[in-house]
Amino acid sequence: MNRWVMWSGWLALLIALPAQALEVDREVWPRLTLGGRVIGTLDLANGVSDGAIDNGVTIADSGLLLRLDKRLYQHGIGGAVLGYEDFDGAVRLTQANAFYWDRDIEVHVGAQRLRNELIEFPVLRDDDVLGLAHVGNAAADDEYGQFYGRLVAVDWYVDGRNQALDLWLGNREQDAGHVSAGQAVAGFNSVGLGYHYQQSNDLIYVERWRSAGIALDAQRVQTAAGIEEWMAALIAAADVNLNIDPAASWSLVMQAIYNDGITHDGVISTLSERARARSQSWVTALRYTARPNLLTRWQAALTVGYKEFPDHSDASQWTVIPTYVRLLGQGVAAVAQLKYSGYGAGLYQGGEDVAVQIGISYSLDARFNDTIGERNSILNLQYGQQL
Amino acid sequence: MTTKMDNGTDVDVRHDAGQAMVGHSSDERQLVSRRAFLRAAALVAGGSVAAPALSAVTEHAGHGGGNYQSMMFMPGHNMAGQITEPPGAPADDEVDYQVFDLDVRIVQHEIVPGIRVPMFAFNGQVPGPEFHVYEGDWVKVIFTNNTEEMHTIHWHGLTVPYTMDGVPMLTQDPVHPGQVFVYRFQAKPSGTRWYHCHWGTPLHAAHGMHGAFIVHRRDDPLKKHFPYQRDYTLMLEAWDIDFAREEIEGLLRGMKELNTLMQQGRMDPMTHGLFRSYQDYLTAVQDGRYIPPYLQGRSSGVPLRFNFFGINGKAHPAGRHLGIRRGEWIRVRLINAGDVSHHMHLHGHDFWWVAQDGNDLLQPQRLNTIHVHPGGTYDIMIYGDNPGYWAFHNHATLMARNNGVYPGGAHAVLEYEDFTPSYRPTVSVDQ
């Protein structure tokens, strides 16, 4: 045993030494991108669900992202992302991934956003549509586990521009504190593939399609009987401009999820239990953005969502969320939102959640030493800028 | 290389200094001859005639020009496909114009191997084509905007009619995407002049849209004292390649939105930052209807950090050599097309500074370092009396670097063509 430990130590040293000897060129500064947001809201709420908002002041969804990257010797860009986010008082390291990209491919390895959604809705916080707009985690009940995991994600841009085939493999969080004993799965528990179209951010007001996609997201879960099974969900989404008017833009956001689940008669009291149940949901939002003189001043949106669990009697949910954001300056906004969710008798005894939120948000997107540009820039997509 | 002028006269000048100095890539400078321009113009015209949108021709030069005024405040104005011929110069049948065709497009210009930068470029090259005409010639430049951004051409140092001076919203509307604008003027006075875009000048002109405009005299008095046979034009440049990339990206984003509004007939001049008067502007800011771009963050924006410097679009070692022979005078025309001064020092020789801003000095000065400031042109004469290879470089040595690495930047070599070297130059890029 001692000999094995000794040889293991030497082997580890031999591996570690060359890694330490690799140069980190101090003369080549990376590009540094600081992104993030602090959103503070005063919440007046009354609800029955486990996701209901409480009365008080919340900073949930506030977070900071740091991206460091640089041009590589011959081709492409390499770097890393670190990110922290607040989940109702618990700050978690959400992103810690290294990446490579060029015109044709993006590869991210590490902690990152799960690919269990295709689109972002115009609500104040991600968890405003939690359960409706995301494929749930069948092995975790906390909010972090619904959005983040450790993945190898590859996006192959088949046209070198906007259209990608996506493949990911990795691990969703398995929260031992919330998952029933015996439900954890060893090894990879998540895999998926999809196709998405993503318009350049610089063109979202002048092109018809902002984004669209379809994806198959699978989780390997252990049933109560101790059998491991794959559970699959199908996601389809589109974000389309109803008019082409960069000064007064109307757009429609839609996403639908069909989750085949693995249990058809279990309880659906927690997030993970609902994730295991067969369900279908859709969310759509109508968004108006006012940009007089092409400077965004305010945005109003009405988001509506519906979800049902067909194997359970009257287990359904309606959600309506009107949202208003007024920019007071670049990145600084006054925000207001009303969130209503009503449940069928099979969920929360047919109760309802109501919340009014008013607050301020500050968003940051600052770049230093930008020697690179972005993959989805106009120059890159339309003028063939060399990366 | 000695090239005859296209009109058949026998001026023995080296018209295309760029061919000697740089030009070993597809974007190399080309000799601008009337014949070549005419061929290009004919092609453009052929396409133009076929396009219905081009049937709209605004006021013709020399036809009075009573209705020539800004279109920018007309509701729903859309200049794409228009041919604008401003008043102020004789009509085509009144004088014998030399006709040139010029356009602007976005290119990926290579400064040195491995560094390609998006640039607005005249005829797809940086610098733009070099004009050679005689003093008194009538010049007609048919300028086509093949980008999504606005542009003009300012004829720097030429005494053109004010309607041809190319200052947007002061002497003309900017040339819109897809629009053709016809500049007409008489080439005067003689000397080393240049041209550049005057819209968004820090990006457009300094980072690509510049070119030499040489007005020759048939009886050049300098030749009596400095009998040169060849002349070279060196356009001195300074680039922040990251600024260029991000600024063009921002312009493209903004212009795609503006052009969308324009095509829909809904372009509001204020959206484009245009006001009929200063009072209108002041009122719009004071009552909150307009938020000036410089006000939005109360910041000065991202500072430029010039990281590449060049001559004729190329940084050392991508530039070419200046050829000279023993006993020969050569003329070197230095034009600063960028935003920083270049302090050009020639090794192994003194030279004679003979002209500034195109005008001959009353008394030439003997120097070996000449300070070339932004916008200025400086002509020097070099006599070949010390065979060898001689550095001619910016002696503000922080600018003799490529991305902070010495040597690089604005660095040329004076090379004697008629001697046997004992030491041959090689290429050094990291000292």
Residue B173 CA from chain centroid, whole number = 19
Report the pLDDT value the prediction gives residue B302, as an integer from 0 to 100.
66
- Nearest CB among B245, B256, B291 relative to A373 is that of B245
Amino acid (one-letter) located at B390: W
Q: Residue B245: list chain A partners with CB under 8 A.
A: 373, 379, 385
Residue B195 has pLDDT above 90, yes or no: yes
- Nearest CB among B246, B260, B270 relative to A370 is that of B246
Does residue A28 belong to the interface with chain B, where contact is any CB pair within 8 Å? Answer: no
> CA of B404, closest CA in chain A: separation in Å?
10
Q: Which helix (H) or strand (E) holds A353?
A: strand A352-368
What is the spatial distance between Cα B366 and Cα B360, in angstroms, rounded to a whole number? 14
pLDDT band at A100; cut points 50, 70, 90 = very high
Amino acid (one-letter) located at B194: W
The candidate with the shortest Cα–Cα distance to B177, out of B116, B243, B106, is B106
Which residue from A minimizes the CA distance to B117? A385
User: Among A93-107, B31-45, B244-258, B296-310, where is mean pLDDT lowest?
Assistant: B31-45
What is the spatial distance between Cα B389 and Cα A339, in angstroms, rounded to a whole number? 77
- In this structure, which topology does domain B17-223 adopt according to CATH? Immunoglobulin-like (2.60.40)
What is the spatial distance between Cα B260 and Cα A357, in angstroms, rounded to a whole number? 36
**Quick check: B256 and A378 CB within 8 A?**
yes
Q: Residue A377: list chain B partners with CB under 8 A.
A: 249
**Quick check: B248 and A295 CB within 8 A?**
no
Indicate left, alpha or beta for A167 from its phi (over 0: left) and psi (-120 to 50: alpha): beta
Q: Which helix (H) or strand (E) holds A192?
A: strand A190-198
Residue B326 has pLDDT above 70, yes or no: yes
Report the pLDDT value the prediction gives residue A183, as an integer from 0 to 100.
64
CA distances from B161 to B61, B90, B100 (A): 11, 11, 18
Tell me the residues of chain A between 327 and 346 that have a Cβ less than 8 Å away from chain B: 329-330
> CA of B410, closest CA in chain A: separation in Å?
21
The candidate with the shortest Cα–Cα distance to B427, out of B308, B313, B315, B307, is B315
Stretch B260-270: mean pLDDT, rounded?
A: 88
Q: To 5 degrees, how large is the angle CA B180–CA B186–CA B192?
A: 100
Q: How many beta-carbon pairs below 8 A join chains A and B? A: 67
Is residue B254 helix, strand or coil? helix
Residue A13 has pLDDT above 70, yes or no: no
What dotted CATH number matches B308-416? Answer: 2.60.40.420
Q: To 5 degrees, how large is the angle CA A152–CA A158–CA A159?
A: 140
Note the residue count of chain B: 431
User: What residue ranges define each of the domains in chain A, with the CATH number in brackets?
Assistant: 2-383 (2.40.160.10)
Amino acid (one-letter) located at B348: G
Which residue from B minimizes the CA distance to A74? B114
Residue A124 has pLDDT above 50, yes or no: yes
Does residue A383 belong to the interface with chain B, where contact is any CB pair within 8 Å? Answer: yes
For chain A, give the percent of residues with pLDDT over 70. 90
Q: Residue A371: list chain B partners with CB under 8 A.
A: 242
On the CB side of B239, CA atoms within 13 Å amount to 40
Which residue from A minimizes the CA distance to B265? A245
**Quick check: B271 and A247 CB within 8 A?**
yes
Domains B17-223 and B308-416 agree in fold: yes
How do the domains of chain B map onto residue ranges?
A: 17-223, 242-286, 308-416
Please give the mean pLDDT across all residues of chain A: 90
CA distances from B7 to B30, B33, B211, B306 (A): 18, 9, 21, 41
CB of B304 within 8 A of CB of B204? no
**Quick check: A244 and B260 CB within 8 A?**
yes
Report the pLDDT value the prediction gives residue A15, as an integer from 0 to 100.
53
Does residue A309 belong to the interface with chain B, where contact is any CB pair within 8 Å? Answer: no
Residues 6+ apart with CB under 8 A from B65: B59, B86, B87, B88, B163
Is residue B156 helix, strand or coil? strand
Q: Residue A382: list chain B partners with CB under 8 A.
A: 252
Place of tokens 């005409």: B133
Q: Residue A247: list chain B partners with CB under 8 A.
A: 257, 261, 266, 268, 271
Residue B245 has pLDDT above 80, yes or no: yes
CB of B354 within 8 A of CB of B362? no
> CA of A206, closest CA in chain B: separation in Å?
6
For chain B, give the percent of residues with pLDDT over 70. 83
**Quick check: B260 and A206 CB within 8 A?**
yes
Write down the ipTM of this complex: 0.86
pLDDT, tens only, A312-332: 999 999 999 999 999 998 899
Report the pLDDT value the prediction gives residue B301, as an integer from 0 to 100.
62
Q: Residue A245: list chain B partners with CB under 8 A.
A: 260-261, 264, 266
What is the spatial distance between Cα A122 and Cα A128, in angstroms, rounded to a whole number? 10
